[in-house]
Structure 1
């Protein structure tokens, strides 16, 4: 097995994948099963004393995935007495017994992975038809892989409890732990190739979680991103956000106020005051002036109202019959304030995870970084500059090629060894929502442990 990493979005934003997590030998013993009733719903309960964990779930709820013969499980990974992480697992529509396993984590920090499930790459979608009920997604990623969606950290989505995680580094062991809980209940997946996919704030999550996973088995660089907020704002395909005079003015503010503070925030742990100060000065010097200069959607500069992807799924998940069917009792919070505020209190968003990503890229895993070209908040300019820093001179000199699919040019890409870059045309922040066929093909190639290639 080889780990796989795919990174979509920008310097703070992308998807990533990892294969070959190792389960401790103790996971084979000391397990118990039972049935419990909670709010009128019968839940299967799997307890594992060695990890002080419990998995309680509903099997085959009939919600979202209605493809005949495809199993699904939804419920909670419980750790200790008050950490309850919601998960929703869908077996692959094809060859589930041999298909790889992929974990999807949305960003935020504090945003639910139900965003990815319902708006991007899950078995059902509200993006077509605009109705109150979901329809099957023909480009669902579980066409190829077994898909696990997890709401983390505690407070995101349906997850609840007293956990007070304040940084990406502190979140990594928790995600590793919940994967061990998953493997203890579903040991048939422990020898499958495994992919970790994340986006947006996943630019932090992806590199650090992947690096942590690798260690257990044996928005990435803010300085780049803030500078490229300016470059993208004045030079992109769709919508000039500021003029040259404003660009020059903000560049001076970046060099005077933002860049010096970022240089003081150099470590992935500690230096909380310096990192919080950097967040404030950079927002005031760069982000806020651009956002106020013109009415635009930071996730898709082609649209001012931000009505796509559809948010109808959130109302759907609040319906009592849906919540009962999938085994949840806690309210749904799409992007929770509490975990976001905890991470912000340590300046986590300003820390560079470039070195972590470089470490991952030096292994033999497949690494993909991609971005939609109409996304400003995680723009392709910043993403590409990060990839160049990772890939070095060899990547810089490699040829940029057209990415074609269905007889149409859908983007441009570059691949050197295990590192790939893809700019997706006519796509905003959530690439699979805007270009579902392209996203699925890239996912399929990456999960097949191959560099991306044009068809």
Structure 2
């Protein structure tokens, strides 16, 4: 063979080796071949398993990667990490199983069907059960379950990402976004801040991080409380007198813990609201739910853990099936408790929770990251008014003033574009926007990825 041809082949070989990442043994081990009850003609790859984030304590986080179909260009689509909040609630239960994942669970708790507005049509989706003690994620140090908080969660999530990218090197240089809802309004900006800071280090791995998006997100205690009480009052859920009492008794500028007067006023507000679903005030709650208990606890006393329509029950059945756990490579250590949508132990023993995420927003806006915030307007737990007050506190210049956006000629919500942040509302959506308004949420996600204004 001619030497020049050999040189060309040699260079081509080097080029291919540098550009193509071949599956590792760990990656192949994590590949899902079949999920019990799944529909026919699944055209995308799935992987799930554990990534150790702390060797000393034996902490390992469970993930589920759902790639885009090859027909939609999976190899060029961005990677999106989805986080649910709680704190203590599962991204598999909510994000994957009833919001943005490709499958929904039928009432029998054993059969899956396709979600026509699955977000993996636009991006490769990575769901993470975080922190340890949530879902299938575990620790070998029991005391960890009673000492989780924002700081540990962010550090462990970053360790997960670093190790996960080593297992899946084909994603190392892919555009990467972090998205979440509810108490992930803390998780998402905190993890974003760490990724951004670590990317500036000389020896740290560089993640091709482009920005984040949060929905109905816990953001700033003072504005969250103020805006929530106002939403209750303006939507006719509480009396004038209770509203005035809440405004005075639940002032979180001076203290992060609710006073006895505040707890009493919150209880009265709950009685006045009656048997509604506060996560979606215009839809019927699941009839026999023990489920809308407002356990007046901790940091957000009106927050009853996680949105709980009947669909949550189907997850509780499906993800506890031994054959499902085997297919997902989950529960490998034989966790001595059933898989649950939310962990009471983790949620009720939360250690640290900063009063505000706004300083992080300011830092990351200044860094030029893409930041979108959205809000379903029928959520009374982290309502649109709370989010608007928080955004207003950033004092950002307006680029495009408040305008309606449309889906097939109908108003899908409203939007305002600020310098460094885009805000979008979704009309008729509750706390879990993609559950209540899947089509509109799909349009929102596409606009976010392309960084284009909502269709007007």
TM-score by length of 2: 0.78
* Inter-CA distance 320–166: structure 2 relative to 1 (3 Å threshold): closer
Q: Cα distance, 1:303 vs. partner?
A: 3.3
Q: Distance in 2 between matches of 1:139 and 1:301?
A: 23
Q: CA deviation at 1:335?
A: 0.5
Select the residue among 27, 45, 61 that pairs with 2:34.
61
- Larger Rg over CA atoms: 2
**How does the TM-score come out when normalised to structure 1?**
0.78
Q: Does 1:77 align with 2:51?
A: yes
Partner of 1:368: 372
Instruction: Please identify, of 292-301 and 303-312, the stretch whose mean Cα deviation from structure 2 is larger.
Output: 303-312
Q: Give RMSD over aligned pairs.
A: 2.6
1:321 CA displacement: 1.3
- Paired with 1:391 and 1:406, the residues of 2 have a C-alpha distance of 33
Counterparts of 2:125 and 2:403, CA distance in 1: 30
- Verify the 8 A CA contact 2:109 2:317 in the aligned structure 1: no
Partners of 1:447 and 1:283 in 2: how far apart? 41
Cα contact 1:222–1:352 (8 A) shared by 2:
yes
Structure 2: give runs of 5+ residues left out of the alignment. 1-17, 201-217, 287-307
Name the residue aligned to 2:390: 386
Alignment of 1:259-274 (within 5 A): 259=252, 262-264=253-255
**1:287 and 2:266 are equivalent in the alignment:** yes
In structure 1, runs of 5+ residues without a counterpart are 1-27, 35-43, 47-54, 265-274
Aligned to 1:21: none
* Structure 2 CA distance for partners of 1:75 and 1:143, relative to 1, 3 Å: same
Q: Pick from 67, 80, 84: which aligns with 1:91?
A: 67
2:299 is aligned to: none
8 Å CA contact 1:107, 1:201 repeated in 2: yes
Q: 1:281 to 1:190 in 2, by over 3 A?
A: farther
Q: 1:282 to 1:363 in 2, by over 3 A?
A: farther
What is the rounded CA distance, in whole Å, between the counterparts of 2:376 and 2:349 in structure 1? Answer: 29
Aligned residue in 1 for 2:402: 400
Q: Whose RCO is larger (CA < 8 A, sep 6+)?
A: 1
* 8 Å Cα contact 1:226-1:286 kept in structure 2: no
Residues 436 and 102 (structure 1), Cα distance of their counterparts in 2 relative to 1, 3 Å cut:
same
Residue 453 of structure 1 corresponds to 454
Contact 1:391/1:419 (CA < 8 Å) preserved in 2? no
Conservation of the 8 A alpha-carbon contact between 1:373 and 1:426: yes
What SS does the corresponding residue of 1:377 show, helix, strand or coil? coil
Residue among 134, 140, 155 paired with 1:173 = 155
Residues 247 and 404 of structure 1: is their aligned pair in 2 closer, same or farther, counting only changes over 3 Å? same
Q: Classify 1:301/1:283 alpha carbon distance in 2 versus 1 (closer, same or farther; 3 Å).
A: farther
| Pair 1:342–1:131, CA change in 2 (3 A) | closer
Matches within 5 A, 1:118-129: 118-126=97-105
Further displaced range: 326-335 or 210-219: 326-335
Which whole-Å deviations, capped at 9, do the CAs of 1:82-137 have from their partners, x for residues lacking one?
2121110011122111100000011011100011101100011137x877412111
Deviation at 1:288, TM superposition (A): 3.0
Task: State the Cα distance separating 1:56 from its structure 2 match.
Answer: 6.1
Match of 2:74, SS?
A: coil
Q: Partner residue of 1:190?
A: 172
Cα drift, residue 279 of structure 1:
4.2
